[in-house]
Every structure is written in structure tokens, then in C-alpha cells.
A and B are shown apart, each in its own frame.
Chain A
Amino acid sequence: MSKATTPPGFGFGEDEEMLRDLARKFLDEKLPVEALRKLVAEAPEPVYDHGQRPPWAPGLWKQIVELGWAGLAVEEADGGAGISMAGIAGLVEEVGRHALPSPLISTLSAALVLRSAASAPGREQLRRIALGTTAALAITPASGSWEPGDCGITGTRQGDGYLLNGSAHFVQDAFKADFFVGTARVDDELLLFALPSEAEGVSLEQDHIHDLTRDQGTLRLSDVRLSAKDVVSPNGEEVLQRAWPGLLVLVSADLCGTSEWQLQTTVEYAKNRKQFDHPLGFFQAVKHPLVNAMVEIDRARSLLYHAACCIDMGSPESLEAACMAKSAASDAGAFISDRSVQLHGGIGFTWECDVHIYFKRSMHNQALLGDGVHQRRKLADRLIGPIGATVENETA
């Protein structure tokens, strides 16, 4: 999929634009903010403490599958749409803008990892995804480390398969997933596997999270038998490293979408709400921070498409570009979240105002796969070199 030259416009062409505009229209119609509030925030502190599943709209998901979004990251040869990363970023921005509760991003993430494995078992799973099977990544240990090599599951060889034990944490939309793509440490290797959620010995524990638009869980494996055909790759670490920029792009795109909604919603409020005989936006203490938020969002968005384009071209700078995008998107998200609540004033502090739904989704995404500080630490290792790498040139 590597192309020789930089495409114009980040490779965001007519197909990508059409897909994005269609997504915007579809979600505007199916999930206006009133419907979203009704779906996820009808009652305060609704369901999480009691083991119930957080609400989402399976009917809407069925339509989404019919639209082909689930298979966007699956190549055409495997029954997917094989659209560019730039196109996926455009669509996920709309998903974020509507704060869509769905297994879409977790499934796209799993598909990117499976695709990066480029193996026969991986392609088998990709074909299932293209047909509407949902998936989630189970790659994070209890410590919350985002290093692709760290994992909380170990495997021991048994026959031509493996026996898996341990746990994967911070699994996104875990209760919506038909299967998991996970990693297990086997001696010095990191095994990448695919495991159905109903397999024997698999259990899920629900996390209580503040975000109302998704669920999260801990996947526990107790003597789970993994057959050889479910091993996606024996080089899980490499596979994850290759897929990592794409995973960062997905979360960054969602953040860009939520941030733009927060900006526009707060701007609308600042136009309509009057105090001291003026609309709030008249006051520079309100206007200037909103402009600053816009500047940050635009930076994130430009870096997002740059990163997506790098991935589409197979550029060696993909990871740097994606770290930059995620850092900028996380920080832009944090800033506009902060201002969206503050500038709404008293009403912004209440459950009845919609801004909290986006505030929480954004806060979740800021941390997911590493916040701005984390991304910049990774970036510094690449652009400056690891700490201690600078050769001392004088010892006078």
C-alpha cells in the first residue's frame, strides 16, 4: 500500500469526502444530541455499579454494518472497503462529533492490528469483521502501560496450541465484542491471538468508567485453550508497533470530532446567552479562549491528516506524525473540554447540559493510548534520541 509520491490534499479525495459527508448526514439524522442524551444519560449515574451493560443502540449498529463502516479498515480482497487511513480519519471525526456509542473504533483498531499481521489466520478474522463481527483489542496490562510489548497474559505451549492465563485491562467496548485480539507472553515471544468472547475460561469484568458513551472491561483468561489456527502472529510486538500509528490516528480523530462539537456548542451558547447587556462572546475573556481552542483543534486536525497520509504512504515517519497528532488532539480536547464547561457557567456544571457527555468521552480519549505528555516522551526519544544518548564532547 505504499505509494511513490505525496498525494495532494493528504489523499483525502472524492471518495473520502463522500464517505465522510454521508456519515455526517446519517449520524445527524440517527443520533442528534437529544437522541444521544436519551440513550446514554437519561438517568444520572445510571447503570454501571450494578453489573448492567452501558446503553448503546444495537439497531443503529446493524445499519452501520450495512453501510460498510465495520469493514473500512479491511482490504477489498478480504471483503472490506479498503479505504485510506485519511478516509477513516474523516469518518471517525464524525463518529466523535456525534459521540456515537458503538464497537466501531474498537473493531477498526482490531482490524488494523490484524491487517498489520498479514497472516492467513489474521485475514480469516478480517473477513469476519467485514461481515459485521465485532472485535476489541486486549493488549494492555493492569499497570496501564501503553508499551506494545507489555502484557498481562502468559501462554504455555500445549500440543500445537497454547494454554493462556492472566488478564488484559482497559479493553475498550469489551461487552460489545464478539472476539478479542490479544497478546500473550510466551517465553521471549509476544504471541498475537484471536479469541471468541464465549471461549471456555474467558470472563469479562466490567469497569466503572465516567464515559457514558462506551463500556470498558477486564478480560480474564483461566486455562484458555488456544489452537494453532487462532495464533495471528508469533511476532506480536512487531505487528503492534506497525499498527500503532493507525491506532493513535483513530483516537485522535475521535478527539478532533468531540472537540469541534464542544467548540461549536460553546460558541452557540456564547452567542445566545446574555449577561451585562451583551452576549457572552462580546467579552474577550470568553472570545479569546474560544479562539485559542479553535487554533488548538485546527493544529490537531492538520496533524491528524498528516499522520493518516503518512500511514497511507507507508512513510517511516508515521509513528512520529501519529504521536504528534495524538499529543495535539489530547491537549486540544483537554482545553476545549475545560472551557466548554466553564463558559457554560452554572448550567454547564449540571447533568442536564449535554457538554458533560462530550467532556467525559474526550477525557477518556485523552488518556487512551497515552496522553500528550506520553506522546511527547515517545517523540523525544525519536527526535532528540533516548536520554543519555548525547555524546559528551568535552569534559573540561
Chain B
Amino acid sequence: MSAPHLSPEHAEFHEYARRWLDENAPPPAPERLPLSPIEVMTVGQRDYLQDWQGRCYEAGLIGCDYPVEYGGRGHQGFQSIANQALGKARVPFMINVVGLNMAAPTILHHGSEEQKKKFIPGALSGSEIWCQGFSEPGAGSDMANQQTQAIPQGDNWIVNGHKVWTSLGHFAQWMILITRTSKHHKYDGLTYFLAPIEGHPGVTVRPLVKITGESGFNEVLFEDAVIPDSCRLDAVGKGWTVAMTTLTYERGAAESAGGGSGEAARPTQRLINLARETQRNGVCAADDPVTRDALMQRAIVAEGLAQNARRARVPALCDHPMRLPLQQKLVGSELSQHNARLGVQIAGAHSMLYKLDSSAPSQGYWPLAYMNSYGHTIAAGTNEIQRNILGERVLGLAKSK
């Protein structure tokens, strides 16, 4: 593994991260882990993953670029190196995905000194799990259409409303929450809170079941919940601006500052292996020209995405600064979806077998991954919304609304 063009300090950290992961890879999980943090269902899964994130944090692989006073290590450019090492090491993912990639960077941008000290360390170490309260039954792609109300009362806010698709809500201590504080302005009438969830009076978390039959996400009801004003992030009426900061991080437009993806590398290789192991009509699927073409299309899109990330760092080869960053969520989520769909297709009759069937290829991974992939093409602004954003912000086409 080569580490091109790292400073001696960075190269040393790279070597440290690689070696630490090599020596400290966790034992196998006591129970089957889900595909991603937003599908964590059981206490056993949570404990195992929370412990792993905590150990990575202690080792300095998470939060390394955050200031020391907020629980970080005060480095620069270390997180992307750690992320790379985590990705290559094929270790479990970081459970606190909302805390790391959304709450912590948003608080760093908009928070008071007190809030930064109070919230960021726990988000990085994973000791405090975060969830996201942006979506509502009537505010999906039209995110500014928030109906959850917050009304001031002394030093507190009284919150009433209904949030949906709340991943990790059943384990969360905190929620990044958007509320409506004025009915007169659609965008300027929003205010952002860091809301207490677990055991908080007036807050009810109920699991939602996905098309896969699995849970992992929830609806959260606020019924006269009292939230102190000290939990308000940035000014009253600035909620939309703060939410945009969060979404910028969520959609990967900025370098993931919290880090720790741990996603399995080279998805195309997994598909090729499946094709090699699968017989279709008495012929190896890897020998079928149509399947081979489809596999190569996937390989090209995957490599293209990796090379996009590389080109995004070369201003001379980018016509518009947001042109590549804003594509990442769109292309990445559709790549996973098309990969999983191709896996289902290659598996043929065996793709009908699901998780608990002992004959299912990879314990039902392909149909499960395919169905789950819609979470990613819908979440964080549906891909239709992403296309609007790209068409309007990058190409300069008229707004569709």
C-alpha cells in the first residue's frame, strides 16, 4: 500500500493508523451486523459498534482534525488518512454516523463555545448517539415545509410535532432538530435545536419497519416537550442556514470531518465473484457476454466515482467548484443500487432466497442490499432533488418548483 505525497508527519500517521487497525481489528460481532449504521436494530449490535467507535476514538483515528478543547487531536488532514485506512482495513463502520458526519461539524460551525465543549466529544467518541429530525410526513423533499412547532416560554421552548425516518432514534441521546418558530416566513421561520431524546418527557420514539422487514429507523413524536433555550443552535430564524451546513456534510460535499466509513472496498469484485460461482442455464454466469458487459459497466462507474474524487482536488480540471462534489450522493447511491440489482440478477433463482434461508447466496445479501439501497436514493434529498440542485446550481437552469 503506497501513500503518495504525504508529508513525513502524515506518512507517519498513515503508518500508525494502518498498524493500529491491523493489530486491533475487533473480534467477530456476536450477532449479524447490518449493512450500515442506519440499520442498527438491536442492543447487542449497538453495544458492539459503540465499543468499536470508542476504541477508534481513543486510538486517535476519529476526530483527529477537531480542536483539542472539543475532544479532538488538533491535527490537520489526518482524518482523510484515517478514513482511508479504516476503509481498507474492512473493520466495522462507525455507529454514530449522524453525530460524526452531521451534528459535530454543524456544531463546530454554528455552536457556542459551551455547546462545542458539551456536545462534540461525545459525538466523536460515540458515547452519545445522535439522530436527525429533519423529515416530517409533509416535509420530505420539500424540507422547508416544517410543521413541528417550537413556542418560546421563559428560558424554554415548547415543542410539538412529528418527525419520521429517524435512523438510530431508538438509541439516541440527542437529535439535530429543525422546528418552525414563525409561520410568516417559510425559510426564515425555522430554528435549529440540539434536542434531548432518550427518556425526555414529551418525546416518544416508535420504530418504523422498512420494506426489508428490518427496522432501525423510527418516528419521533414531540408532545409539549420542554427544550431549554441553551439547546438552540445559532439564532432564532437561522434554522435553514444551519440545516444547509448539515446537509453539505451529509451529502459529502465537504470532506467528511468526523470520519470512519469502513465500507467494504471494491464492490465490483464481489459481483465478479458471484458471477464466477453462479451457474445459469448450465453456463457459468461469468462467461455470459451480457452479464460481462453489465459487470464492466459497474466497474467503470465505480472507478469513475473514485477518479471524480481525485479530480475534485484539481481545480484546473474542474469547471465549476461544486460540479463534482454535488454529484457524489447521486452517483454513489445509484451505483450501490445498480450493483445490488445486478447481484440479484446474476443470482437468478437463488435471488428469491432471503436472509434466513441456508441456501441463500451470501445470506440473502443481494436482495437485502437492493431493497435497502432505496434508503440512500431517497434519503438526504431524493435523487430527483439532487438533479434539480445540480441543474440549477451548476448548470444554471431555471428553478423547477
Contacts and interface: CB of A to CB of B under 8 A. Distances in A.
Interface of A: 5-10, 12, 16-17, 20, 90, 260, 267, 270-271, 278-279, 281-284, 286-288, 290-292, 294-295, 298-303, 305-306, 321, 324, 327-328, 373, 376-377, 379-380, 383-385, 387-388, 390, 392
Interface string B263-296: 0000010001001100000001011010011011
A241 B299 CA distance: 22
Contacts of A379: 296, 299-300
Interface in B350-401: 384, 387-388, 390-392, 394-400
A306 B307 contact: yes
Contacts of B304: 298-300, 302-303, 324, 328
Q: Majority SS of interface residues in chain A?
A: helix
A303 B306 CA distance: 9
Contacts of A278: 398
Interface of B: 2, 4-5, 268, 272, 275-276, 284, 286-287, 289, 292-293, 295-297, 299-301, 303-305, 307-308, 310-311, 313-314, 316-317, 319, 323-324, 327, 330-331, 384, 387-388, 390-392, 394-400
B311 A295 contact: no
Contacts of A9: 313-314, 316-317
A390 B304 CA distance: 27
A306 B310 contact: yes
B280 to A, nearest CB: 12
A321 B300 CA distance: 9
A5 B317 contact: no
A3 B400 CA distance: 49
Contact of B310 (A20, A270, A284, A302): A302
11 contacts: A8-B4, A9-B313, A282-B399, A287-B388, A291-B390, A292-B387, A294-B394, A376-B292, A379-B300, A383-B299, A390-B284
B2 A384 contact: no
A290 B316 contact: no
B296 A303 contact: no
B391 A301 contact: no
B395 A294 contact: yes
B286 A390 contact: yes
A291 B289 CA distance: 30
B317 A12 contact: yes
Which label, helix, strand, loop or mixed, suits the secondary structure of the B interface? helix
A302 B307 contact: yes
A20 B314 CA distance: 14
Interface centre among A20, A286, A305, A390 (most CB of B within 10 A): A390
A387 B390 CA distance: 40
Contacts, number: 157
B289 A287 contact: no
Contacts of A380: 292-293, 295-296
Contacts of A305: 307, 311, 314, 317
Contacts of B4: 5-8
Contacts of B286: 384-385, 390
A8 B284 CA distance: 41
A153 to B, nearest CB: 31
Contact of B289 (A281, A282, A377): A377
Given A282-B400, A384-B286, A10 B292 contact: no
A286 B324 CA distance: 20
A376 B296 contact: yes
Contacts of B317: 9-10, 12, 90, 301, 305
Contact of B300 (A282, A295, A376, A387): A376
A284 B330 CA distance: 16
B323 A324 contact: no
Contacts of A290: 391, 395, 397
A290 B397 CA distance: 10
Nearest to A300: B304
Given A298-B324, A392-B284, A6 B299 contact: no
A284 B276 contact: no
Nearest to B320: A294
